[in-house]
Amino acid sequence: MNTVLVTGATGQVGKRFVPRLLQWTANGETVRVLVRDAPRGEQFAALGADVVVGDLREEADRARALDGASAVVNVAAAFRDVPDAEAWAVNRDAAVALARQALAAGVSRFVQTSTNLVYGAGRGRPAQEVDEPCPGEDRGVYPASKAQADAALEVLRTTQGLPLVTVRLAFVYGEGDPHLAQALRFAAGWAAHQRMPMVHHADVAQALWRALRVPGVEGRIFHAADDAPVTAFDLYRLAGVPLPDGAADRQDPDPWRGVSDNLPLRDDLGWRPVYPSVWTARDAGAL
C-alpha cells in the first residue's frame, strides 16, 4: 500500500490541499497527515486520512509519521507573525531533517513547498528555475529560511539521491483564506501599478499533485503562479477600500520582483490554472 505523508496539513495551504489529495488518490493508497494535536486532525480523519499526532521538529515524531510512507509533501511553514527562531526551526531545520529521514526510509518522491520570494530582486524578467536564490533582508526570515532549506535539500539530492521536486508558490489566496485581505498591509506604501504575483489554492493543490505524480522530474523546480499578477489598485478595489493618497504618484522600483515563470509547470507537468487570474476567481465566487 502506498502512503503519502503531508506535513503542514492544518495550515492555509495544507487544509485545502489534503481534502483534494484524498479525492485524487487511488484505491489502496493512504494519505497520512502529521498534526500537532488530535482535535486538529479530526477533520482529516473524518475524510479518511491517517492521522499522526506529533511535532515536525521532533525526530521521533517524524519517524512515526514516515513509517511505511512512500512519498512526502512538505507543506509545513512558519509564516507571518511568528518568532524568527520558530521560522528557522520549521522552515529550514525541520524540513531538512524530515528529508534526511525520508531518504533513509526510502521514499520515492519528496515534494518541497517553497516560495517565489526566495529570488529577491527582479532580473528584468520572470525568475526561472535556474536562477540563484537571493532573498534579501527586506522580506524577513521566511524567504531566507526557505532559501536555505531549498539549498540544503538540493545538496541531499545531488549527494545522496533525495528524489526532490520543489514547488515555489506565489502569494496564495482563495476559498476564504484571509491572505487576500491581509495583502493590503503589504501594499500600503506601493505605487498604484505595483504588481503582486498570486496563485489560487485550487491551482496550488493541482501543482503539488502533479509534482507528486509526474515521473522523471526529480531535481526540478516549478513555479506555481497565475497568469496575471494583480496591482495594488486591484487589491484595494477587490477589498472595496479607496486607494491611499499618493499611490498614483509613486513609481514601482522593481516591476519584476516576485514574478516567476510558470511555463515549465505547464509544459512539463501539464498544469493549467483553474483560475488564471484573481478576476476569474472573483467571478466564480472562489475568493
- Whether the pLDDT of residue 137 is over 80: the answer is no
- Whether the pLDDT of residue 61 is over 70: the answer is yes
Any domain includes 243: no
pLDDT on residue 1: 61
- Whether the pLDDT of residue 75 is over 90: the answer is yes
What's the domain range around 96?
3-173+198-226+261-275
- Whether the pLDDT of residue 20 is over 80: the answer is yes
Q: Which helix (H) or strand (E) holds 31?
A: strand 30-35
Helix then strand then coil, in percent of the chain rounded to 5, is 40, 15, 40
Within 10 angstroms of residue 83's Cβ, the number of other Cβ atoms is 10
Nearest residue to 6 via CA among 42, 35, 40:
35
Q: What is the pLDDT averaged over residues 225-232?
A: 96
pLDDT on residue 173: 97
Any domain includes 152: yes
Which CATH number fits the domain that encloses residue 47? 3.40.50.720
Any domain includes 126: yes
Structure confidence by residue, pLDDT tens digits, 79-108: 878 899 999 999 999 999 999 999 999 999
Number of domains making up the chain: 1
Any domain includes 59: yes
Any domain includes 183: no
Structure confidence by residue, pLDDT tens digits, 233-270: 999 999 999 999 999 999 999 999 999 999 999 999 99
Any domain includes 18: yes
pLDDT on residue 28: 84
Tell me, what DSSP letter sits at residue 132?
A: P
Any domain includes 104: yes
Any domain includes 184: no
How much is the pTM?
0.97
Structure confidence by residue, pLDDT tens digits, 154-191: 999 999 999 999 999 999 999 999 988 899 988 999 99
